[in-house]
Amino acid sequence: MLVWSDRFATNIELVDLQHKKLFELLNKLSDSFKQGSPSDVMVYETLQELMDYADKHFVDEELLMVQSKVDPRHINIQRMEHRSFLYDIKNMSGHLCTEDDFKEVSEKLVCFVTSWLTFHILGIDQAMAAQIVAIQHGATPEQAYDSLSTVKYDAAVTHLMLDSVMELWHMSLERCHRLEDKLDALNEVADAKHQ
């Protein structure tokens, strides 16, 4: 369960409203996994609702950055993060098909979205908001982007971000190991064919 607090606020009304809605949908998804099964329509409807809403939010955020004249170096990184989130969540949801995998995959999905939203909102979304404010106060997009390196995070935020990034890193590592195992198995089959 991800609980909203002022730490997540960007002070951009639309963005904060949409982030709160994403928290709500994540918690709804977590509940639907606890109550549902792979054959449950409710699980897929809730998952689809979260993916659709995240997609809409990313489009709005990207439009806001362009309209606010945020430096393209930042916009490109943020766009890439948005695309990679949608790719990953779609990919993971494709593995929710059997009763055996369902519990494990659904827990991973909730953990992934929780960590991703925490890291993304406390990190790149706050950086976006800081640049928008700086530009509104007369900085050029380049100055606003370059001044990000001097931003100081408080200890609690740094702690939350580190926990989230470690969680995401562990999940990526696990996926790499699974891929390596599959590759080894394929190589063994190929070797056996050539003998």
Enumerate binding residues for Fe ion (CB under 5 A). 125
- Minimum CB distance to Fe ion smaller for 71 or for 125: 125
CB of 61 to Fe ion, least distance (A): 5
Residue pair 38/100 in contact by the 8 Å Cβ criterion: no
Distances (CA, A) of 135 to 143, 145, 153: 9, 10, 20
CB of 166 to Fe ion, least distance (A): 21
Main-chain phi, psi angles of 154, to 5 degrees: -80, 165
Residue 46 burial (C-beta neighbours within 10 Å; 0-12, 13-18, 19+) = buried
CB of 157 to Fe ion, least distance (A): 16
- Minimum CB distance to Fe ion smaller for 8 or for 102: 8
CB of 57 to Fe ion, least distance (A): 6
CB of 95 to Fe ion, least distance (A): 25
Pair of tokens at residue 148: 């990000």
- Minimum CB distance to Fe ion smaller for 12 or for 43: 12
Return d(Cα 192, Cα 62) in angstroms, integer. 51
Q: Which residue is nearest to Fe ion (CB)?
A: 125
Which of 94, 24, 16 lies closest to 61, judged by CA?
16
Distances (CA, A) of 50 to 146, 182, 191: 34, 31, 44
End-to-end, the C-alpha distance of the chain in Å comes to 53
- Minimum CB distance to Fe ion smaller for 55 or for 107: 55
- Minimum CB distance to Fe ion smaller for 88 or for 125: 125
